[in-house]
Amino acid sequence: MARDSLSVDNPRATGLRARMSRAGGLLDHAAREFEVAAGEYAIWRARAYSANDFRYESSAPTGRWRRSVRMIKRSPVVVTQGSLPYRNWIEGTSRANAHSRFKGYWIWRRTRADVERAAVRIMDRVLSRYAGRL
């Protein structure tokens, strides 16, 4: 039997990917549910960080950044920020950050760490729905 494992990685600086290896059958469905639940949690955390961190001194917030965060439901589930031209600068991974005082918000790095910390809770919640059928 294949060993189950979880990985949360950051393929680009502006998003993350959650994947759980599958053992087959009913666990495939549980693993898929976990990936989607982890993606939804990541979206919630990324949007929460942006709401807390962004400062709007010159105008009201447009919501463009929050709307750009979305989940692509494939395997693995990918949570990304779309194609905003300034997304790397906001995260702090642009070359321009090295030459300015602004070092980025680190939204995706903090979101990834949150998903990794919450992974066991998320999986417990998913597996509790399958407990009677295993």
Q: How many domains does the chain have?
A: 1
pLDDT at 114: 93
Mean pLDDT score, 9-14: 52
pLDDT tens for 69-112 read 888 877 677 787 777 777 777 788 888 888 888 887 888 889 88
Q: Whole-angstrom Cα distance, residue 61 to residue 41? A: 23
HSE, CB side, 13 Å, CA atoms: give it for residue 34.
30
User: Tens digit of pLDDT for each residue in 19-47?
Assistant: 665 556 677 788 888 888 988 999 999 88
Say which residue, 31 or 59, is predicted with more confidence: 31
Is residue 1 situated within a structural domain?
no
Q: Which domain holds residue 43?
A: 6-133
In a domain, 57, yes or no: yes
Is residue 41 situated within a structural domain? yes
Closest CA to 81 of 19, 33, 35, 13: 13
Question: In the structure encoding, which two tokens stand for residue 129, read together?
Answer: 């729905």
